[in-house]
Structure 1
Amino acid sequence: MNQTLEFFASRGYGVFPYIIIREMSGMYRQIPIHFSLQELLEREGVLVNLYDEEGDDTTKEKCLSILRSIIKSEPVITIKRNTKENWIFSGVRKIEGCVVFSPKRAIYLDSGGNIKSESESIPCGGSLISLCGETIITNSQHYNLLPLELR
């Protein structure tokens, strides 16, 4: 099923913060992060529970915690559209990824869930795929998917 960039943007893709899982060389899976159950139910991605009084450090830690759970194959609250396509990674494959907080900030975790690096360089290019395995965009940035006039 081919979807438009508008469709993916409406589902929460391309909005900071988000998770990137490196599936293989040149292929990245984006997982939108949502901070309320209502937002998650209307879109697609994972839930990070936040309370009003929590600041940036707590948000960062909770986002990293969700990525650690995904890396370790632990359950997380996830919503995705009904599709026959599933996660590409399976078996004993070592999963690595990052939480992208802005165009110049990402925190990378290794396959053990440990911080590998904090970087001003974020993943871009290659093939960006959705939770359902659909190609979102190729050889472009992974955020702000729509042109300014459509945002």
Structure 2
Amino acid sequence: MPTGVYRRVFIASRWAIKIPRIRNITCGARCNRWEAEIWRKWRPKFGWEHLCPVRFCGPLGLILVMDRASQPVTFEEVKSANDQDYSDYYPNVDIEYKAENWGVVAGRMVCVDYGIDDAERISKKRIYYQERSRT
């Protein structure tokens, strides 16, 4: 079972289920809610197609269900999956370009970890995305 600082990930057939770690429940839930918001609201507006699909997020963020990604992948595979510079493709999306944050879903490379835990950063990003989506 993969374990991060804020969340545990359970793998079940087609799904990756992320739940907050007890000692970091607030931050883990915030990460889950932010990934769901990015997927549902901001990805379609900005065309961020290399994000792992979110299928369900509980209202409090206590559970997040994503498609299961095949791993491991190499950084070279991640890099070659997109011929653009990542900083241009994902401006202001908190994606780490580590191979363990990426996997393959339905034959394409996707980022499986794009949640952030800091409420102030999320608020600033939300304002930025709202302003950017109006132009």
TM-score (norm. length: structure 2): 0.28
Greater fraction of residues in strand: 1
Greater relative CO, 1 or 2 (CA 8 Å, sep 6+): 1
Greater fraction of residues in helix: 2
